[in-house]
Amino acid sequence: MNLVCESQFINDYLIVTEEIDYDHHLIAELTSKLVASSQDQVDFIKKSYEFVRDEIDHSWDIQSSRITCSASETLIHGEGICYAKANLFCAILRRAGIPTGFCYQRLTIGDTPDTGYCIHALNGVYVQNFEKWIRLDPRGNKPGIHAEFSLDEEKLAFPIREDYDEADYLTIYKSPNAKTVGALKSNTDCINMYLHGLPDHL
Question: 3-class SS at 100?
Answer: strand
Residue-wise pLDDT tens digits, 176-190: 999 999 999 999 999
Q: Could you tell me if 99 and 10 are in contact, meaning their C-beta atoms sit under 8 angstroms apart?
A: yes
Q: Name the residue among 97, 89, 95, 87 with its Cα closest to residue 175.
A: 87
Question: In this structure, how many other beta carbons lie within 10 angstroms of the beta carbon of residue 51?
Answer: 18
Q: Name the residue among 171, 194, 14 with its Cα closest to residue 102.
A: 171
- The burial of 136, by beta-carbon neighbours within 10 Å (0-12 exposed, 13-18 middle, 19 or more buried), is given as buried
pTM value surpassing 0.75: yes
Residue 2: pLDDT over 90: no
How far, in Å, CA of 200 to CA of 194, rounded? 11
Residue-wise pLDDT tens digits, 35-81: 999 999 999 999 999 999 999 999 999 999 999 999 999 999 999 99
Residue 1: pLDDT over 80: no
How far, in Å, CA of 190 to CA of 19, rounded? 18
How far, in Å, CA of 156 to CA of 142, rounded? 13
Question: 3-class SS at 156?
Answer: coil
Range 85-107 average pLDDT = 98
Q: Name the residue among 105, 122, 4 with its Cα closest to residue 53.
A: 122
Provide the CB-side half-sphere exposure for 55 (13 A, CA): 12
Q: Could you tell me if 87 and 68 are in contact, meaning their C-beta atoms sit under 8 angstroms apart?
A: no
- The burial of 49, by beta-carbon neighbours within 10 Å (0-12 exposed, 13-18 middle, 19 or more buried), is given as buried
Q: Name the residue among 88, 23, 20 with its Cα closest to residue 49.
A: 88
Please, what are the domains in the chain? Answer: 4-196 (3.10.620.30)
Range 16-35 average pLDDT = 98
